[in-house]
Amino acid sequence: MPNGMKLVILNPTHGRSRTNATLMEEICHVFLGHQANRLSIVTRDERGKVMNRDYRKADEEEAYSVGAAALVPYATLKKMLSQGRTSQEIGLHFHVSRELVEYRMKVTHLWREFKHLRVV
């Protein structure tokens, strides 16, 4: 915004888990000092693909990974896994998706340690 405030537009059709992850990712973009994406009028490129915003893959990956770490802290994740909790149960605890929990397990190398457990 011209006054320096940030605006995040959330999709009201997304569930709580996805909204939590999206909002944390957007907060991380600000925290990490990423340039805001530029919105534009939706158009189609020469292949018919819809084009509607700038996209910097490295920024998106960084913000998602930092946001995921904030939502599912390593120590608690490891403790819950050692207690035999499934990724679905952990997701419910943190109000995030099973997929986000499993992403955290993989990037923290807990996946290998706990893959013998019933994950889902």
- Residue 86 sits in the same domain as residue 57: no
Q: Determine the Cα–Cα distance for residues 108 and 105; give it in Å rounded to an integer.
A: 5
Helix (H) or strand (E) holding 33: none
Least confident of 55-59, 66-70, 99-103: 55-59
| 104 or 2, which is more confident | 104
pLDDT for 8 = 83
Would you state the pLDDT for residue 43? 62
- Local confidence band at 79 (pLDDT 50, 70, 90 cut-offs): very high
Examine the domain organization and report whether 78 and 114 are in the same domain.
yes
Statement to judge: residues 2 and 61 lie in one domain? yes
State residue 92's pLDDT score: 97
Q: Please give the C-alpha separations between residue 27 and each of 22, 41, 68, 85, 118, in angstroms, as whole numbers.
A: 9, 24, 11, 28, 33
pLDDT in tens, 99-110: 999 999 999 999
The total domain count for the chain is 2
Do 105 and 90 lie in a common domain?
Answer: yes
- Domain range for 52: 1-71
Radius of gyration of the chain (CA): 17
